[in-house]
Amino acid sequence: MAVIHDDIGRRRFLSQAVMGFGLLFGLGTLALRFIQFLVPSPGPKRVGAVLIGAESRVPMGEAVSLDLSGHKILVLRTDEGVVAFSRRCTDLGCLVSWNKEREQFLCPCHQGVFDKTGRNIAGPPPRPLDRFEVVKRGEHLYVSIQSV
């Protein structure tokens, strides 16, 4: 009975081992970068106050539509003070508008209705409107905008 030995030399073995480890390292790095591409780590969020003007710019009981740093905002002045909401409906992202007579925000897409506090009260919107902090400094109003 003959025994066949596949004798690999030391040099060839080390060469193949180094190439194998290099290939594994390269594929691992590629996989890590691909995962980072798919799920990016959240960067630090900055909050900045954007001047929207004098309080008198927003008439009592009415809402003023603004576009601040890419955010579409409705600023509403009531007896309780000045509040700011995103115009994006929480259902499909359509732009809501203020109805002064009903004192409600209305969404034209699926008849979503929000009260003057931004709370969803009718229709399919799953949650209240996003709210922005309004800061009053003297006669001027500022809205806190979060950016990435």
* 125 and 98 housed in the same domain: yes
* 60 and 115 housed in the same domain: yes
Task: Please report which confidence band the pLDDT of residue 5 belongs to, taking 50, 70 and 90 as the band edges.
Answer: low
Q: Is the distance from CB of 135 to CB of 49 less than 8 angstroms?
A: yes
The enclosing domain of 80 has a CATH number of 2.102.10.10
- Domain assignment present for residue 75? The answer is yes
* 32 and 55 housed in the same domain: no
* 34 and 56 housed in the same domain: no
* 37 and 50 housed in the same domain: no
The range of the structural domain enclosing residue 126 comes to 46-147
* 36 and 90 housed in the same domain: no
Give pLDDT tens digits for 77-130: 888 888 999 999 988 889 999 998 999 999 998 889 999 899 999 988 899 999
* 83 and 23 housed in the same domain: no
- Domain assignment present for residue 2? The answer is no
- Domain assignment present for residue 1? The answer is no
Name the pTM for this structure.
0.64
Q: Is the distance from CB of 140 to CB of 51 less than 8 angstroms?
A: yes
* 78 and 117 housed in the same domain: yes
Give pLDDT tens digits for 121-135: 998 889 999 998 888
42 φ/ψ angles, rounded to the nearest 5 degrees: -70, 130
> What confidence score (pLDDT) does residue 115 get?
92
Closest CA to 74 of 41, 103, 98: 98
